[in-house]
Every structure is written in C-alpha cells, then in structure tokens.
Structure 1
Amino acid sequence: MKFLIVCTLLAFAAFGCTEAEECQSVRPCTMQYQPVCGSDGVTYGNQCTFDAHKLDCNPSLTVANPGQC
C-alpha cells in the first residue's frame, strides 16, 4: 500500500502542472520582424506577437519602446 502511495505522489510530481510554467500564446501572427520591447524586458518579434502575449499571458504588459530591448 505504501508503494502505491509513493508511486502516485511521484506521478503527480513528475506530470503535475505548476504555476511556474511559461505562458504560450497561440494566436496567429506574421513572421515580419519589427521588434517591440516589452515592459518585461523581452523583445517581441512584432506588435502582433506582443499583443498576443499581453492578451494571453500578462494583461499589465506595456510597450517600453519600439525596437529591441
């Protein structure tokens, strides 16, 4: 019985979802490179990818400046 409990706990630890997982946006955007620097210090490939990340992952995100960070 103990073995079963240990196996169950290990399975949850190995495959469980954590809050630390990175958010992935799946909105369609072109591959045109016109970089935008986000307030999170990340350079986004273009305004569309920035907007998609903002909508799906971080609503408080703002544009720090056009171009690379």
Structure 2
Amino acid sequence: MAALVRDTINAKSHCKLMLSQPLINEREKRIRMSKDVKMESTVLNSTKTDFLTLQGRKRRLNSK
C-alpha cells in the first residue's frame, strides 16, 4: 500500500514537473533569441565598422 501511495505521489509530481517545463523552455527560448539578436547586431555593427575602416585606409593609401 505504501509503495502505491509513493508511486502515485511521484507520478503526480512528475506530471506537475512536465506541465511546468514547457513554460520554462518558452521563456529560455525567448531569452536566447533576444541574446542571439543582440549578438547578431553586434557582429553586424563590428563588420560595418571594419568595412568603413578598410575604406578609410584605402582612401588614405590612394591619396598619397
């Protein structure tokens, strides 16, 4: 009898855990996505800066 009660409690807590899991995953997914977007914009900005620096160097070299 005690084993049955214990199994039932475990099953219930497992169900609760499984139900709460997707919410956590959605939140984490959203956080990760926003981090990825920030990373991408940082990469794009640094690439743009690098490109502009190269253009400036080319101009300086050509003007000499």
TM-score (norm 2): 0.34
Greater strand share, 1 or 2?
Answer: 1
Greater helix share, 1 or 2?
Answer: 2
TM-score (norm 1): 0.33
The structure number with the bigger radius of gyration is: 2
